[in-house]
Amino acid sequence: MKANTKKAEKPKGSFLKRLKANKELLILSMPGAIWFLFFAYLPLFGILVAFKKFRLSGDGFFYNLFTSETVWFDNFKFLFSSGDAWIIVRNTVLYNFTFIILGVAVPVVLALLLNELKNKGMMKIYQSSMFLPYFLSWVVVSYCVFAFLNPEKGYFNAVIQQFGGDPVSWYTEKKFWPFIIIFMSQWKGMGYNTVVYLASICGIDKTYYEAAVLDGASKWQQIEYITLPLLKPVITILLIMSVGGIFKADFGLFYQLPKNSGPLYPVTNVLDTYIFRALKTSGEIGMSSAAALFQSTVGFVLIMIANKIVSKIDNENALF
């Protein structure tokens, strides 16, 4: 930062110059845009399947798509027809809401902690270790967790019994599972999520801190007035984007970790597991397409709302 800061300049150059700059930006956007055309927009015709009863009567997908009977919203009915629809939606939304909040709070705190450590070497080790859970699939993780929670031979029950308590039937007692699930989801994701915030902190101009210290600011004040405000853009954008996923869930977390145990369903059944179990026997691709469309639409609406709210408060950091 130069001591003699310049005021913001009037738009420089002629119209032609601005157009030239835009032309260059346009070219820079082209490769990505073409990719999106092929990999994101062209396949969108697949959404039509949600409204059809897909049958094969001739050669070629499109022929079959057009000759299949249009059933409009019939394929969506199964999402609401179960008596449990309320519980499932409740589980999905509550868990995701918690994940969204924790998914920002925990990594931010960790990033701050890591950043303040005196020994940089230790910091690297901690950060690398926290990354490891990301690499294990939920299947493998569920085996490891089982070693602890096994009602007969698991470590937890062994310790409990040592202290004179009664062994807990972990896989049939549902009251512990919300905590287990929330804990495990953070365990798996915190290393990964911390990276973004660490990188952001790294990009903060050091001279801000130096000036603050010269003014006699404490660590807390530095964090409150420099770090967090400068992290705001990243935090905001990540929050908005995660809102879009509120109806989606990490399948492995809710299906494999609890070992698909029936008595736990009231707290582990979410939209994705419900859909999976429902469509296991029917193979009706219209229904699975409808389910995905439903999840996407809700997420889209929510993102738009979240973005609108954010842009009212702080236009800089909105999505658009």
Partner 1 sequence: MADKIMSKRKIEKRIRKLEAGECQYNQIKSSTNVLFNAILAVLSLICVIPFIFVVIISFTDEQSLAMNGYRFIPEKFSTYAYEYIISAGENILRSYGVTIFITIVGTIIGLLLTGTYAYALSRKTYLFRKFFTTVITIPMLFSGGMIANYLIVTKVLMLKDSLWALILPLCLNSFNIIVLRTFFKTSIPDAVVESAKIDGASEWRLFFQIVIPMALPGLATIGLFLTLGYWNDWFNAMMYMDNKDLIPLQYLLIQIESSIDWLANNKGTMGVDGITAAANMPKETIKMAIVVISTLPIIFAYPFFQRYFVNGLTVGAVKE
Partner 2 sequence: MMKFKTLKRFAAAGLAVMMTAGMMTGCGGKKAETNSNGDEIVELTWWQIGDAQKDQEKVLDKVNEYITEKIGVKLKINTAGWGDYDQKMQVVINTGDDWDMCFTCSWANNYLQNANKGAFLQIDDYIKDTDMYKTIDARFWEAAKVQGKTYGVPSEKEIGSMPMWVFTKEYVDKYNVPVDEIHSLEDLEPWLKLIKEKEPDVVPMYLTSSYSAPVYMDLIQNPVGIEYGDDTLTVKNVFETEKMRYTLDTMRKYYLDGYINKDAATASDDKSIKRFVTKGDGQPYAELVWGKDLGYEVVATPIMDTYVTNISARGALTAINAQTEHPEKAVELLNLINTDEYLRNLLNYGIEGEHWDKVEVPADEAAAAEGKPYVYDNKIKLNEETRKDYSVSYWVQGGLFNTYVLENEPVDKWAAFKEFNTASVDAPSFGFDFDIEPVSTEVAGFGNVMDEFGKSLFTGSVDPEEYLPKLQEKLEATGIDKVIAEMQKQIDEWKAKK
How near is the Cβ of 83 to partner 1 at its closest, in Å?
25
Q: Which of 140, 158, 159, 305 binds partner 1 (CB under 8 A)?
A: 140
For partner 1, the binding residues in 38-97 under the rule CB under 8 A are 38-47, 49, 61
Q: Which of 89, 160, 230, 279 binds partner 1 (CB under 8 A)?
A: 230
CB closer to partner 1, 57 vs 164: 57
Phi, psi of 167 (to 5 degrees): -65, 145
CB closer to partner 1, 45 vs 86: 45
Q: Which of 136, 158, 305, 309 binds partner 1 (CB under 8 A)?
A: 136
CB closer to partner 1, 102 vs 201: 201
Q: Give the E-state strand segments of the chain in sequence order.
A: 52-53, 69-70
| Cα–Cα distance for residue pair 121/116, rounded to 1 Å | 12
Q: Which of 63, 66, 97, 134 binds partner 1 (CB under 8 A)?
A: 134
How near is the Cβ of 168 to partner 1 at its closest, in Å?
18
Partner interacting with residue 228 (select from partner 1, partner 2, none; CB below 5-8 Å by kind): none
Q: Which positions lie near partner 2, rule CB under 8 A?
A: 53-61, 64, 74, 77-78, 81-84, 150-152, 169, 171-172, 259-263, 265, 269, 274, 277-285, 287
Phi, psi of 60 (to 5 degrees): 100, 140
Partner interacting with residue 59 (select from partner 1, partner 2, none; CB below 5-8 Å by kind): partner 2
| Cα–Cα distance for residue pair 94/97, rounded to 1 Å | 5
CB closer to partner 2, 229 vs 262: 262
User: Is 155:148 a contact under the CB 8 Å cutoff?
Assistant: yes
Q: What is the DSSP string of 247-303?
A: T---HHHHHTTTTT-GGGHHHH--HHHHHHHHHTTT--HHHHHHHHHHHHHHHHHHH
Partner interacting with residue 22 (select from partner 2, partner 1, none; CB below 5-8 Å by kind): partner 1
CB closer to partner 2, 155 vs 300: 155
Partner interacting with residue 220 (select from partner 2, partner 1, none; CB below 5-8 Å by kind): none
How near is the Cβ of 89 to partner 1 at its closest, in Å?
18
For partner 1, the binding residues in 235-254 under the rule CB under 8 A are 237-238, 241, 244
Name which of 78, 87, 144, 86 is nearest 264 in CA terms: 87
**Cα 306 to chain center, whole Å?**
15
CA distances to 98, 102, 187, 247, 253 from 138, rounded to whole Å, are 20, 20, 12, 20, 6
CB closer to partner 1, 87 vs 196: 196
Q: Both tokens of residue 134?
A: 């990301």
| Cα–Cα distance for residue pair 254/261, rounded to 1 Å | 10
**Token pair 């990999």 is at which residue?**
39
CB closer to partner 2, 269 vs 307: 269
Q: Is the dihedral of CA 300, 301, 305, 308 positive or negative?
A: positive
How near is the Cβ of 59 to partner 2 at its closest, in Å?
5
Give the helix/strand (H/E) hosting 70: strand 69-70
How near is the Cβ of 18 to partner 2 at its closest, in Å?
24
Q: Is the dihedral of CA 132, 127, 130, 203 positive or negative?
A: negative
How near is the Cβ of 163 to partner 2 at its closest, in Å?
21
